[in-house]
Amino acid sequence: MALSSGADRGSHSMDKSITLPPDEIFRNLENAKRFAIDIGGSLTKLAYYSTVQHKVAKVRSFDHSAKETEGDPLYEISVQEEITARLHFIKFENAYIETCLDFIKDHLVNTETKVIKATGGGAHKFKDLIEKKLKLKVDKEDEMTCLIKGCNFVLKNIPHEAFVYAKHADSEFRFQNTHPDIFPYLLINIGSGVSIVKVEAEDKFERIGGSSIGGGTFWGLGALLTKTKRFDELLQLASKGQHTNVDMLVKDIYGGAYGSLGLTGDLIASSFGKSATTDKEFSKEDMAKSLLHMISNDIGQLACLYAKLHNLTRVYFGGFFIRGHPVTMHTITYSINFFTKGEVQALFLRHEGYLGAIGAFLKGAEEDNPNQYSWGENYAGSSGLMSVSPELNPVQRARSGTFPFDMLEMDRLERQLVNLPLLQDPTSYIPDTVDLTEDVLAREYWLYCFEEALDGVVKRAIASQKDQPKAVERAEKFRQKYRHKLQTLRHQPFAYGSLTVRSLLDTREHCLNEFNFPDPYSKIKQKENDMALKYYLKVVKSVEELSWEQRQFTLVKGLLAGNVFDWGAKAVSDVLESDPEFGFEQAKLQLQERPWLVDAYNQWIERLKGPPHKCALFFVDNSGIDIILGVFPFIRELLIRGTEVVLASNSGPALNDVTNSELQILTERIAAMDPVIHTALKEDRLALVQNGSSSPCLDLSRLDKVLATVVRERGTDLVIIEGMGRAIHTNYYAMLSCESLKLAVIKNSWLAERLGGKIFSVVFKYEVPSNIREIKS
């Protein structure tokens, strides 16, 4: 749709016929229910809530009371429509506000709201225009309250929201793990002036200080000194300047360092000091850089003093002065580091530009209590963090079209997510084993790997819906969307926080869901589950005939052989595609012989000779042979020993991983064949609980609250994590407060070689926390 921009931008004029694709920017606008807007001096941030209708794969057990015939499937799969909630946040320049309001008015169909919450300095200026265009009453909210509410929301719901900026490092953005308890913290909001706010709880905050020397000072003085009126152009000048041409340094006064006071020679002794003693013209770039340093150092020192006064170590910076500009983040970081001697880090936020809009939205949605839910970033609809602002990167702007937009989408999750209570130290827990933003070789390999696998994923998606007329068209849209995401991550690996194998997998799942492919592997899982069930009793009987020592090893080997059946690993999917007869016994032959790559089997056996564990929590992996012939015989032995077992499976589909609804049906069927499983279920010694995830990986800091409660109530003292995604790509270094088993078969040659092994190498990691070891000794 071509629209007139309706804005005269002078020398910065844009094409008046702006392409505004509604499905890419104002997504799902026809189902928007509630609006909020934050209008600053140059940027507008719009927020709205919508209901999203998308397809979900459901499984339902057949009635097996009647006589079954050979080949009858265990359960039926249906694709149903489901409605979920989504938050949309869009950021654009004020010059486009009229165009955007016109577009919203034309596409607003089902909205029930009569009010739009507004905040920011521009809310009053544009009030009449908004009310006229949208026919909604503007209800203004307090700017600082909205800012704090927005900050709390992103810190709680986006794991890699905060980052440290390191200009000269290989990875300029170093993302921080969000502390389980985000309070207290200090927020330094640098707008025209500076506000310093201490935040102690959700609705408890206090402005404890501030300064009139802020972003407006930089802009105003900069305009006077350089005759440059645009804020972003001033920053561009500063990025090219050399402040030492204007500033007087310690060595300019003393000829070197002032050792007795601990002052180095390169330290600024007087901002603009040389302009009073040197009879020459200074460049605009040098003056802009000197001014930036002067204001940043002043703000940095002020922030440090307040942080020390209130004993706070978490200090976040936001406001239009920051706006993701590398040059401002670098100067603030340097200042904080200098004044605190490295004790306090300057923290910035990926979505700091949205805080006011998010807060205004939350104020308007209080009757729905959005804070009772957990929310997750939808990578398919979010544009991600850019390296610099659109004003400073014409290439990036050209790539995204003529309309400079930035978007964030958050999906409401069905389950409330919390930490696993057994994490040794939740504050230091990092789910991912390798950070691809820092490991360049690994990043190149995995991006290549995911791009190479794309054709196979598209093929699988189409095959899962071959009776659907538009499946091919939707699959092609998925391919384009995901390939674009991979290209973005190649140039901007920090776009969605730390880049990891987990985030690449999750982005792919989000994109598949976006184009209504909720479970591309559903039919494969159904077929493999049916097949594996036929061999269950045979496997159990063969194990029962063995001596105790032989039985334990056979059960572990079966668990590892089952884990080979992973459609997410190309080496395995190629075999399964070409040889449908490849089965459990063949998989055992593929396994590395002992000693394994990581081999703690002997320690595990010694532990089994002792008293039984009270309760084992098992994070399961794949459907079919893995869960039925690998996991169930293994947990059956634990149950016989007197250990309760909790099987934690995915809430939603990912690759061929077993979901909780599938596992319920499989367990019911196994219980009908096996008295041990039947009795354990009946006596509630075997429990099936969903983990709250729809990912092939596992983040132990975002688990279903119900699972956390079950773990606590049952006194869980053993955690078993299975599979490459959950035990290698994530949680390999996770420290738990109880005994743990992490086991997987490495089904990727490159990764195996990197770990010092070969494909189908085995990792069997048994860990006991030092406090438990001391008690036992």
Q: Which amino acid is at 306?
A: Y
Mean pLDDT of all residues in 56-77: 64
Answer whether residue 65 shows pLDDT above 80.
no
Q: What is the domain extent for residue 194?
A: 162-246+282-349
pLDDT at 521 over 80: yes
Final residue of a structural domain among 515, 543, 565: 515
pLDDT tens digits, 428-468: 999 999 999 989 999 999 999 999 999 999 999 999 998 88
Task: Look at 403-412, 555-564, 692-701 and tell me which has the smallest mean pLDDT.
Answer: 403-412
* C-alpha to C-alpha distance for 407 and 401, rounded to whole angstroms: 14
CATH number for the domain that contains residue 617: 3.40.50.10880
Residue 151 has a pLDDT of 96
Burial class (CB in 10 A: 0-12, 13-18, 19+), 542: middle
Q: How many CA atoms lie within 13 A of 326 on its CB side?
A: 19
Question: Helices 355-364 and 143-157 sit at what angle, rounded to 10 degrees?
Answer: 100
Asked if residue 1 has pLDDT above 70, the reply is no
Q: How confident is the model at residue 657 (pLDDT cuts 50, 70, 90)?
A: very high
Tell me: pLDDT of 99 over 90.
no
Q: What is the pLDDT of residue 525?
A: 93
Q: Which of 571, 463, 557 is nearest to 517 (CA)?
A: 463
Give the neighbor-by-neighbor strand order of the sheet with 162-165. 173-175, 162-165, 345-349, 314-318, 185-190, 194-201, 204-211
Q: Which residues contact residue 91 at a Cβ distance below 8 angstroms, ignoring those fewer than 6 apart?
A: 43, 44, 45, 46, 353, 354, 405, 406, 407
| pLDDT of 381 strictly over 70 | yes
Q: Which helix (H) or strand (E) holds 690?
A: strand 686-690
Contact 145, 359 (CB under 8 A): yes
CA pair distance 127, 119, nearest whole angstrom = 10
Q: Dump pLDDT digits (tens) for 107-149.
A: 776 667 788 999 998 888 899 999 999 888 999 999 999 999 9
- Would you state the structure tokens that stand for residue 476, as one six-digit string? 């092609």
Task: Please list, in sequence order, all residues whose beta carbon lies within 8 angstroms of the beta carbon of residue 246, skipping any fewer than 6 positions away.
Answer: 272, 273, 274, 275, 282, 286, 287, 289, 290
Residue 24: which pLDDT band, with cuts at 50, 70 and 90? low
Domain assignment of residue 110, yes or no: yes
Inter-residue contact 738 to 451 (CB < 8 Å): no
Q: What is the mean pLDDT of residues 673-700?
A: 97
| CATH number, residue 43 | 3.30.420
pLDDT-derived band at 63, boundaries 50, 70, 90: low
Do residues 418 and 703 touch, judged by C-beta distance below 8 A?
A: yes
pTM of this prediction?
Answer: 0.89
**Nearest in space to 729 (alpha carbons), one of 748, 711, 707:** 748
- Asked if residue 425 belongs to a domain, the reply is no
The rounded distance, in Å, linking the Cα atoms of 3 and 15 is 10
Mind giving me the DSSP string for 430-475?
A: --BS--TTT-HHHHHHHHHHHHHTHHHHHHHHHHHTTTSTTHHHHH
Q: Is the pLDDT of residue 213 over 70?
A: yes
The CA angle 265-268-272, to the nearest 5 degrees, is: 135
> How remote is the C-alpha of 454 from its chain's centroid?
21
Stretch 557-569: mean pLDDT, rounded?
A: 86
Mean pLDDT of the chain: 87
Judging by beta carbons within 10 Å of its beta carbon (0-12, 13-18, 19+), is residue 609 exposed, middle or buried? exposed
CA–CA gap between residue 101 and residue 131 (Å, rounded): 10
pLDDT of residue 62: 61
Specify if 777 maps to a domain. no
Residue 119 domain-assigned (yes or no): yes
| Cα separation, 270 vs 249, whole angstroms | 7
Report the pLDDT averaged over residues 606-611.
97
In the predicted structure, residue 517 carries a pLDDT above the cut 70: yes
Q: For the domain that residue 465 is a member of, what is the CATH number? A: 1.20.1700.10
Residues 369, 342 within the same domain: no
Tell whether 651 and 551 lie within a shared domain.
yes
Residue 569 confidence (pLDDT): 67
Sheet holding 598-599, edge to edge: 598-599, 761-767, 739-746, 718-722, 615-619, 644-649, 686-690
- Residue 550 domain-assigned (yes or no): yes
Cα–Cα distance for residue pair 693/699, rounded to 1 Å: 8
Same domain, 177 and 122: no
pLDDT of residue 67: 43
CA angle 356, 357, 359 (to 5 degrees): 65
Beta strands in 697-768 (DSSP E): 703-704, 718-722, 739-746, 761-767
Are residues 609 and 641 in contact, defined by beta-carbon separation less than 8 angstroms?
no
C-alpha to C-alpha distance for 668 and 538, rounded to whole angstroms: 18
In a domain, 707, yes or no: yes
Q: Do 626 and 664 sit in the same domain of this protein? A: yes
Q: Which helix (H) or strand (E) holds 255?
A: none
More confident position, 716 or 230: 716
Same structural domain, 168 and 153: no
Asked if residue 234 and residue 109 are part of one domain, the reply reads no
Q: Which of 615, 695, 609 is nearest to 650 (CA)?
A: 695
Percent of the chain with pLDDT over 70: 90
Of the residues 464, 484, 515, the one at which a domain ends: 515
Per-residue confidence (pLDDT) for residue 621, from 0 to 100: 96
pLDDT tens for 214-263 read 999 999 999 999 999 888 899 899 999 999 999 999 998 888 888 888 88
Are residues 692 and 667 part of one domain? yes
**3-class DSSP string for 282-350:** CCHHHHHHHHHHHHHHHHHHHHHHHHHHCCCCEEEEECCCCCCCHHHHHHHHHHHHHHHCCCCEEEEEC
**What confidence tens digit (pLDDT) does each residue in 486-515 have?**
999 999 898 899 999 999 999 999 999 999
Residue 1 lies in a domain: no
For residues 635 and 680, give the distance between their C-alpha atoms in angstroms, rounded to a whole number.
Answer: 11
Smallest Cα–Cα separation from 445: which of 709, 742, 749? 749
Q: How far apart are the first and last CA of the chain?
A: 73
- Residue 576's pLDDT band (cuts 50, 70, 90): low
Count of structural domains within the chain: 4
> Hey, how many other C-beta atoms are within 10 angstroms of the C-beta on 623?
29
Statement to judge: residues 693 and 720 lie in one domain: yes
For the cut 80, the answer to whether the pLDDT of residue 413 exceeds it is yes
The predicted pLDDT at position 552 comes to 98
Report the pLDDT value the prediction gives residue 66, as an integer from 0 to 100: 44
Does residue 360 share a domain with residue 335? no
**Cα atoms in the 13 Å half-sphere on the side-chain side of 703:** 25
Let me know whether 691 and 650 are in one domain: yes
Please compute the mean of the pLDDT values over residues 573-595 and round it to a whole number.
80
Residue 578 neighbours by CB under 8 Å, 6+ apart: none
Confidence of residue 405 (pLDDT cuts 50, 70, 90): low
Both tokens assigned to 410 = 């958050």
Query: 738-760: per-residue pLDDT in tens?
Result: 999 999 999 999 999 999 999 99
Instruction: Tell which of 294, 317, 349 closes a domain.
Output: 349
Res. 18: pLDDT tops 70: no
Name residue 211's amino acid.
S
Predicted confidence (pLDDT) per residue in 309-335, tens digit: 999 999 999 988 887 888 889 999 999
Confidence of residue 391 (pLDDT cuts 50, 70, 90): very low
> Does residue 112 lie within any of the structural domains?
yes
- Considering the domain architecture, whether residues 673 and 639 belong to the same structural domain is answered as yes
Which pLDDT score is estimated for 96?
84
Whether residues 534 and 670 share a domain: the answer is yes
Looking up residue 301, the CATH number of its domain turns out to be 3.30.420.40
The confidence score (pLDDT) of residue 109 equals: 62
